[in-house]
Chain A
Amino acid sequence: MNRLKLLNLLCFLFLLLIFVVFQYFVDFDVLNNRSKPWHLDKGDSLSQTYLNKYKITNQLSLQQDLVDDISYPLVLILVDAWGVSYKEYQMEKEFDFFDKKNKREVLHKRLTEFTRYAELSEYKLESMRGLYLFGGDSLEYERSSYIKDLGYETHLFCQKCGDDVMLNFVDSVLNSQDIPDVIALTTQSSRGGDKDSLHNSLKQIADLAYKHSDITFVVQGTHRPILCPAKIREQYYQHWVPVVMVNLK
């Protein structure tokens, strides 16, 4: 038997042995999990920089998680299609729009990627007076009915109103004598995944928060941009959204 042949035989036997041993270590369920195939899943865990830099909250609704830090009146803003970018400097830039004083930056895990889910999980009211604002049609997405179910006694829909209009409205409410416990606003100028309009909205929100430095603002993304070209969507973590809290007590 020549050397080459021996080598061939050894290779073959070695491979066979590995296969046989390996089958006891392969988790069949992992490999054949239809809903989340292991080899097609690039992973959705945050980078180490993110983990070190920001507070991380999991899946629970934010209000539940941070109940001790929140004081009323409270402005809750869901920024549509604001996701956590794979580019860390972009996230930093977006957080930096907000004033540094009494601020907390959080990355929050949210497994479902539609706006209604974010609203249902974040806008819950518990025996408080709430005002809900939205710059769009009340019938769309059956919004008026589920917002009512959440317990908001007043809601205001303003057809085709941009974020600036709605934020002005928040401003005037905050300037008034009778401020509700919770003011909830869902923005939608950035819905299509356009970065510039997102930054625009964030800046306006930051300005408003700066102006009313005695009122706590919780500003968070609904989900990563999804109604946009796939290329843009792929720049964001699938199941993470940024949250910034300013003017904490």
Chain B
Amino acid sequence: MKQCITIRAIGLNLVFLLLYIFLGSCITASLDDFFMSSVLTGAYGAEYDVHLYFVNATYGFFLKPFYWLCPRIGWYYIFEVLEVFASFSVFTYFLLKKVDKLKGLLLSLLLLASFSPVFYFQLDFTKNAALLTASGILLIFFGEKNKKVFIVAGVLMLVAGFVMRKEAFLLGMPYIGILLLIGYFKEKRLSKEPVIGILISFVIIAILFFFNRSLYQNNEYQYYAEYQNPRAVFVDGNYYDSDATLDEIVELGKHGLDYSMLKDWTFYDTEIFSRDSLQQYLNIIERNKYDISWTKMPFAIFGEIALSFQEQNVWCWAFFAFLLTLFAKKCGFIVWSSLLVVIISFIYLLEQNRNIIYVEHAIWMYATVFLIPFLQEDSLNSIKISISNSFILFSFAIALFGLGFWNTPNYLKNSLFKEKSKNDALWEDFFAYEVQQQNEVFFMEYHPYKSFARRLSGSYKALAKGRLNKIFPLGYWNVYLPGMIAALKENGIKNPMQSLTNSNVRVIQYNDVDLYQKYYRLHLNRNIEYETIPFTSQSGFDMMNYNMIRYYGIKDEIEKN
């Protein structure tokens, strides 16, 4: 019987995995994943590099043997897909175990149909971390007693959740607290197995945390890691009044250009935007933080939750919660506590003013999965499932899946569902140009760099070693990666922003050229000229205009003539 549940759970999940493989574009939705996998395979530099930064280096070590066997395969991506598959299989297993055959099957279908589009099609490491953590919690707390395999699997998945992203792992921690409390009040003592499982996981997690941290200390990666936090304050931070910050900077007598460039992801200047020189701006930002209006906050939380109901997966939570409140005994508490954790998580996001959709998906997934073990078989006995009932529920599930697929951005769908964009054609031209011009180096601004990466990220394929050794960002989170610094050095470049006028440098940009002209006048006291280099017949694609520019100093021009 149990064998049967496992097989059914996996079978059902295989259907959704296949749906994803056929309907999806098989790339990670997050470019951070793409760039981390490029770090891993040594696309900058020449070495396999486990310093993923956002993901614990353990993942890199784990993947190493696979890359050693088949270096051209995108194992980073493949294992992320497997993580989603494994987690959803665990959820389905528990649902089927708790609820009878047909009912269980229908509820699983509902769960998979509403959640899998978001988690498969919009694959990224943050959501994966939440999935793994949630399934770890289920396995540790609700696995069969006296069977070590559940605890071991649970510990492994919980640790894996931490490895993929510790912040998303932390979002699941309130549920561990609630489950421990429930266990304590039910049996008047803490049951042994879950506590041991949690403790072992936390010990391993602590070890991995400190091990990972040590990889960024007292070595060439230290500066790289130290640069991340300040960078994030400028480009991602929304918790301060940016206009007031700029005003204060100007009032202090500094030029506002640098701050605007920092905000706009243009900061790869090892002197002007060095870690130390960012501090002056960070201090000003600290003085311009928003104050939370606690009278408005409850309404904001309410509004955010209400808006969540536009996402199909929240309806799965609502349905499970409805079943629990209607049928289960003494489970009202469970529903309200899941909502409470959602509210707390939203307060945190609102305080940071960073309501990111993928974090919200993770929050609702936690809340929904938390309800699964309380959907007890006997309490649902009173529901009679007729053919018409089940047909309605089945259609509902299909509709949710359809809605989820419909809401998926086009670039994440199979190429059957999207037209080839001018964007793609432009990068094809660029690849051709790049092959011809072997000795040219390309600097890309944030927008083109991302667009380029999107085009380059191919399903199942890993970037070859050194593939990006001639293409650098003018500001992205991977700046100062030792591999990148080495590659720059190979091309004779020490300071990217101040090397724009090197004869072999081409800048692919979205901003106006006068940005760099101003920058050079301001900081280097030099006037620079430019010429646009035609490398493509495409123009004005996707509302954006990228140009390839060659800059030269006035003196250089004289030499040229």
Which residues of A are interface residues toward B (Cβ below 8 A)? Answer: 5, 8-9, 12-13, 16, 18-20, 22-23, 26, 28, 31-32, 34-35, 37-42, 111-117, 140-141, 223, 226-227, 230, 233, 238
B190 adjacent to chain A (CB < 8 Å): no
Are B242 and A39 within 8 A (Cβ)?
Answer: no
- Chain B 282-302 per-residue mask, 1 if CB under 8 angstroms from chain A, else 0: 000001001111001101101
Given contacts A41-B290, A115-B251, contact A34 B243 (CB under 8 A): no
State how many angstroms separate the Cβ of B313 from the closest Cβ of chain A: 14
Are B242 and A35 within 8 A (Cβ)?
Answer: yes
B305 adjacent to chain A (CB < 8 Å): yes
Are A226 and B251 within 8 A (Cβ)?
Answer: yes
Residues of B in contact (CB 8 Å), total 38
Are A113 and B247 within 8 A (Cβ)?
Answer: yes
Are A19 and B306 within 8 A (Cβ)?
Answer: yes
Query: 6 A-B contacts, Cβ less than 8 Å apart?
Result: A13-B322, A19-B309, A20-B306, A40-B291, A114-B250, A117-B247
State how many angstroms separate the Cβ of B304 from the closest Cβ of chain A: 7
B335 adjacent to chain A (CB < 8 Å): yes
Point out the residues of chain A lying under 8 angstroms from B353, CB to CB. 34, 37, 40
Are B299 and A39 within 8 A (Cβ)?
Answer: yes
Point out the residues of chain B lying under 8 angstroms from A39, CB to CB. 292-293, 296-297, 299-300, 350
Point out the residues of chain A lying under 8 angstroms from B293, CB to CB. 39-42
State how many angstroms separate the Cβ of B79 from the closest Cβ of chain A: 33
Given contacts A9-B326, A12-B325, A34-B353, contact A227 B291 (CB under 8 A): no
Are A22 and B303 within 8 A (Cβ)?
Answer: yes
State how many angstroms separate the Cβ of B491 from the closest Cβ of chain A: 36
Point out the residues of chain A lying under 8 angstroms from B297, CB to CB. 39
Which residues of B (251-299) have their CB < 8 Å from a CB of A? Answer: 251-253, 287, 290-293, 296-297, 299
Point out the residues of chain A lying under 8 angstroms from B238, CB to CB. 34, 37
Which residues of B are interface residues toward A (Cβ below 8 A)? Answer: 238-239, 242-244, 247-248, 250-253, 287, 290-293, 296-297, 299-300, 302-307, 309-310, 318, 321-322, 325-326, 332, 335, 350, 353, 355
Point out the residues of chain B lying under 8 angstroms from A42, CB to CB. 291, 293
Point out the residues of chain A lying under 8 angstroms from B309, CB to CB. 19-20, 23
A115 to B, closest residue via Cβ:
B251
B284 to A, closest residue via Cβ:
A226
A9 to B, closest residue via Cβ:
B325
Are B248 and A226 within 8 A (Cβ)?
Answer: yes
State how many angstroms separate the Cβ of B236 from the closest Cβ of chain A: 11
State how many angstroms separate the Cβ of A102 from the closest Cβ of chain B: 33
User: In the complex, what distance in Å separates the CA atom of A34 from the CA atom of B322?
Assistant: 35
State how many angstroms separate the Cβ of B119 from the closest Cβ of chain A: 23
Are B244 and A238 within 8 A (Cβ)?
Answer: yes
A116 to B, closest residue via Cβ:
B250
Main SS at interface, chain A: helix
Main SS at interface, chain B: helix
User: In the complex, what distance in Å separates the CA atom of A23 from the CA atom of B306?
Assistant: 5
Are A113 and B248 within 8 A (Cβ)?
Answer: yes
Point out the residues of chain B lying under 8 angstroms from A34, CB to CB. 238, 353
Point out the residues of chain A lying under 8 angstroms from B355, CB to CB. 31-32
List 4 tightest A-B contacts by C-beta distance, closest first.
A39-B300, A40-B290, A113-B247, A22-B306
State how many angstroms separate the Cβ of B355 from the closest Cβ of chain A: 6
User: In the complex, what distance in Å separates the CA atom of A34 from the CA atom of B332?
Assistant: 37
Point out the residues of chain A lying under 8 angstroms from B291, CB to CB. 40, 42
B294 to A, closest residue via Cβ:
A39
User: In the complex, what distance in Å separates the CA atom of A98 from the CA atom of B161?
Assistant: 68
Point out the residues of chain B lying under 8 angstroms from A40, CB to CB. 239, 290-293, 353
Point out the residues of chain B lying under 8 angstroms from A238, CB to CB. 244
Point out the residues of chain A lying under 8 angstroms from B242, CB to CB. 35
State how many angstroms separate the Cβ of A67 from the closest Cβ of chain B: 27
Point out the residues of chain B lying under 8 angstroms from A227, CB to CB. 248, 251-252
B303 to A, closest residue via Cβ:
A26
Are B247 and A37 within 8 A (Cβ)?
Answer: no
User: In the complex, what distance in Å separates the CA atom of A115 from the CA atom of B293?
Assistant: 29
B288 to A, closest residue via Cβ:
A230
User: In the complex, what distance in Å separates the CA atom of A9 from the CA atom of B324?
Assistant: 9
Are A22 and B325 within 8 A (Cβ)?
Answer: no
Say which residue of B239, B306, B325 sits within 8 Å of A26 (CB atoms): B306
Point out the residues of chain A lying under 8 angstroms from B252, CB to CB. 227
State how many angstroms separate the Cβ of B258 from the closest Cβ of chain A: 15
Say which residue of B251, B287, B300, B322 sits within 8 Å of A12 (CB atoms): B322
User: In the complex, what distance in Å separates the CA atom of A40 from the CA atom of B290?
Assistant: 6
User: In the complex, what distance in Å separates the CA atom of A37 from the CA atom of B242?
Assistant: 12
User: In the complex, what distance in Å separates the CA atom of A42 from the CA atom of B241?
Assistant: 12
User: In the complex, what distance in Å separates the CA atom of A19 from the CA atom of B353?
Assistant: 21
A23 to B, closest residue via Cβ:
B306
State how many angstroms separate the Cβ of B84 from the closest Cβ of chain A: 27
State how many angstroms separate the Cβ of B249 from the closest Cβ of chain A: 9
Point out the residues of chain B lying under 8 angstroms from A226, CB to CB. 244, 247-248, 251
Point out the residues of chain A lying under 8 angstroms from B306, CB to CB. 18-20, 22-23, 26
Point out the residues of chain A lying under 8 angstroms from B248, CB to CB. 113-114, 226-227
State how many angstroms separate the Cβ of B440 from the closest Cβ of chain A: 37
Given contacts A22-B306, A38-B300, contact A114 B251 (CB under 8 A): yes
Are B290 and A35 within 8 A (Cβ)?
Answer: no
Say which residue of A9, A13, A31 sits within 8 Å of B303 (CB atoms): A31
Are A141 and B253 within 8 A (Cβ)?
Answer: yes
Given contacts A38-B296, A113-B251, A226-B248, contact A28 B287 (CB under 8 A): no
Point out the residues of chain B lying under 8 angstroms from A8, CB to CB. 325, 332
Point out the residues of chain B lying under 8 angstroms from A141, CB to CB. 253
Are B321 and A23 within 8 A (Cβ)?
Answer: no
Point out the residues of chain B lying under 8 angstroms from A13, CB to CB. 322
User: In the complex, what distance in Å separates the CA atom of A160 from the CA atom of B299?
Assistant: 52
